[in-house]
Amino acid sequence: MVLPNTWQRFLDETGGMSRFTGRFFSQAFKPRYEFSEFIRQCFIIGYKSLPLVGLTGFIMGLVLTMQLRPSMISYGAESQLPAMVGIAIVREIGPVITALIFAGKIGSSIGAELGSMKVTEQIDAMEVSGTNPFKYLVVTRVMAATFMLPVLVILGDAISLYGSYIGVNIRGVTSFDLFFKQVFDALSFDDFFPAFIKTYFFGFAVGIVGCYKGFNSNKGTEGVGRSANSSVVVSSLLIFIIDLLAVQIIDLFGLN
Amino acid sequence: MQAEETILEELKPTRLPGKEMALSITHLYKSFGDNHVLIDFNLQLNRGENVAVLGKSGSGKSVLIKCIIGLLKPDKGSINILGRDIEDLSLRELDEVRTRVGFLFQSNALYDSMTVRENLEFPLRRHWIKLTTAERNEKVTEVLKNVGLVHTIDMLPAELSGGMRKRIALARTLILEPEIILYDEPTTGLDPITGKEISNLIMELGEKYNTSAIIISHDINCIHRTADRIVMLIDGKCYADGTYDALKNNNDIKVKQFFE
Ligand SMILES: Nc1ncnc2c1ncn2[C@@H]1O[C@H](COP(=O)(O)OP(=O)(O)OP(=O)(O)O)[C@@H](O)[C@H]1O
Ligand SMILES: [Mg+2]
């Protein structure tokens, strides 16, 4: 059977990425552990995306609040504004927006970095000098992305809520204490926890896709650009797919 | 008549009495689909010897050297490095053998996110874990002195010229004091004067650290200067094997064309 070209490529990519993920799990938990490189990557990955995550989070909180206000007023529920925004941010907007920013910033930089290392034979050089490049480059980056994104999401959520507090106070007056009391009264553990867990999967997806694209980069500078670009596209798409799966699973277990 | 002496039908072991074998390749086959690159290739390298592999572009020289170090998997045949068959080794044992073999890439393959110092320290930090910072600095300065580039220590590879990068790559290859060094076209892409300097450096350092080397090249001047023995890779086989002078005076048409 001859499949159309795009389908063939899609299946090839899916297969390649699954094998890459399998290789990750078979190597990640065996010594030698690249602990210091992992810590260095955590710092780079977390620190690099912090300003962007903070800024977008703040703007999202502020804008969301201002956009929702007229509708809330028309329902006569203006006092519910902090609760409403809090739930939206913690359950959905915070994790997804942060993950997308993360994919744009970190996914592309991992893809480009490993891609250029690949085409200039630096990865071969590492292997030849007796260092396992998969462990040293891939495992550390994927782990760092997996563990740093949840931290960034929590920070992003906090900054978003602060943005929302500012938004509430543009037209009305609500004290800081009252605002956050209203937010936290509306939130329960079930709002926070599933949303938090799914961010680990988002981070993992961004790391794996970036590393896979970089490691399989084609020759030439064009190949490096394409790796960077397609790692952003594919990981953003995966974030939405994981989000869709997560909401189904949460629903199934009756956690919402 | 001389042609018959140097062209090998069946490989005779070139192992000299009293000399230890550093590397031996026997009956090596490697193809990519229908492209049969290496067909029954044989090579022996004794300790302290420099062997040049000469062949046309695309004849499979880089494939050969990548098979030796395990970056490519041969289809058939065995490769023995320092007394160990590399296909029998576990990953960890292979890594250990690799620290005793240096590889100079044609493209240098310097880590371009790291400074010269970090490039040189990388293998030390990975394999000579017990070194103190002072000892590490000393070692880095020593190899940089050998290649005459101490002042570049805090520069990035992007800030260096092609010849300088080649020297730094050479320094990085030498830093773990390998017993065998594989050079993939060390002078290609350099001007003749710099090429000559690199050739001299290869000779000098080889003597200083008492290494054996395989030098892949089509630069006949570099080969003349550095190699004790030349192996010609033609049609995937070891076509001829001999000293520079023996091959230069050879009348075989395929051998002759390299010396014109
Ligand atoms: N990874 C690979 N996949 C498929 N074919 C390859 C691969 N590597 C090399 N080849 C093929 O093997 C042949 C020999 O290539 P190789 O790079 O060894 O040549 P070379 O002798 O080093 O040439 P040059 O002097 O130009 O560097 C070429 O025909 C090349 O197309
Ligand atoms: Mg080559």
Is there a cis peptide before residue B84, judged by omega within 30 degrees of 0? no
pLDDT band at B218 (very low <50, low <70, confident <90, very high): confident
pLDDT at B4: 41
A111 part of a folded domain: yes
What total of structural domains would you count in chain A? 1
- Segment B92-108 mean pLDDT: 89
CB of B63 shorter than 6 A to ligand 1:
yes
Query: For the ranges B27-41, B112-126, B245-259, which has the lowest average pLDDT?
Result: B245-259
* Cβ-proximal residues to A240 (8 Å cutoff; 6+ apart), any chain: A96
- Cα four-point dihedral sign A216, A221, A224, A229: negative
Distance CA A9, CA A31 (A): 35
Distance CA A72, CA A134 (A): 52
- Name the residue among B71, B111, B123 with its Cβ closest to that of A127: B71
Ligand 1 atom nearest B65 alpha carbon: 18
A21 part of a folded domain: no
Cβ count near A101 (within 10 Å): 18
Count contacts between A and B (CB, < 8 Å).
Answer: 48
Mutate to test the interface with B, among A37, A122, A128, A140 (most CBs of B within 10 A): A128
- Segment B141-158 mean pLDDT: 91
Ligand 1 atom nearest B64 alpha carbon: 18
Distance CA A8, CA A40 (A): 38
* Cβ-proximal residues to B206 (8 Å cutoff; 6+ apart), any chain: B50, B181, B213, B226
* Residue with CA nearest ligand 1 atom 16: B60
pLDDT at B17: 42
Tell me whether B126 touches chain A (CB under 8 Å). Answer: yes
Tell me whether B93 touches chain A (CB under 8 Å). Answer: no
Query: For the ranges A42-56, A204-218, B106-120, B237-251, which has the lowest average pLDDT?
Result: B237-251
* Residue with CA nearest ligand 1 atom 3: B32
A116 part of a folded domain: yes
For residue A167, give both structure tokens: 């938004």
For residue B4, give the 3-state DSSP assignment: helix
Minimal Cα–Cα distance from A86 to chain B, Å?
Answer: 42
Q: Which residues of chain A have pLDDT under 50?
A: none
A2 part of a folded domain: no
pLDDT at B2: 42
B110–A132 CB contact, under 8 Å? no
Distances B256 to A126, B217, B221 between C-alpha atoms, Å: 38, 16, 15
Chain A residues whose CB is inside 8 A of the B62 CB are: none
A18 part of a folded domain: no
Give the number of the ligand closest to the Cα of residue B54: 1
Give the torsion through C-alpha atoms of B257, B63, B53, B172, to 10 deg.
130
Tell me whether A127 touches chain B (CB under 8 Å). Answer: yes
Stretch 97-126 of chain A: residues touching chain B, C-beta under 8 Å: 113, 116-117, 120-122, 124-126
Cβ–Cβ under 8 Å, residues A231 and A209: yes
A149 part of a folded domain: yes
Specify the amino acid at residue B180: I
pLDDT above 90 coverage of chain B, percent? 39
A16 part of a folded domain: no
Note the pLDDT tens digit of each residue in B6-56.
Answer: 444 333 344 444 467 889 999 999 999 899 999 999 999 998 889 999 988
Q: Which position has the higher pLDDT, B181 or B14? A: B181
Cβ–Cβ under 8 Å, residues B5 and B200: no
Ligand 1 atom nearest B59 alpha carbon: 21
pLDDT at A65: 94
- Structural domain range at position A115: 36-252
pLDDT at B90: 85
Model ipTM?
A: 0.84
B95–A130 CB contact, under 8 Å? yes
Distance CA A24, CA A40 (A): 19
**Per this entry, what is the length of chain B?**
260
Tell me whether A222 touches chain B (CB under 8 Å). Answer: no
For residue A143, give the 3-state DSSP assignment: helix
Beta bridge partners of B104: B183
User: If you compute the radius of gyration of chain B from its CA atoms, what whole number of angstroms results?
Assistant: 19
Chain B residues whose CB is inside 8 A of the A130 CB are: 95-96, 98-99, 123, 126-127
Note the pLDDT tens digit of each residue in B186-207.
Answer: 988 888 888 888 899 888 888 8
pLDDT at B22: 87
Tell me which residue of A134, A124, A108 sits closest to A233, measured CA to CA.
A108
Tell me whether A128 touches chain B (CB under 8 Å). Answer: yes
A45 part of a folded domain: yes
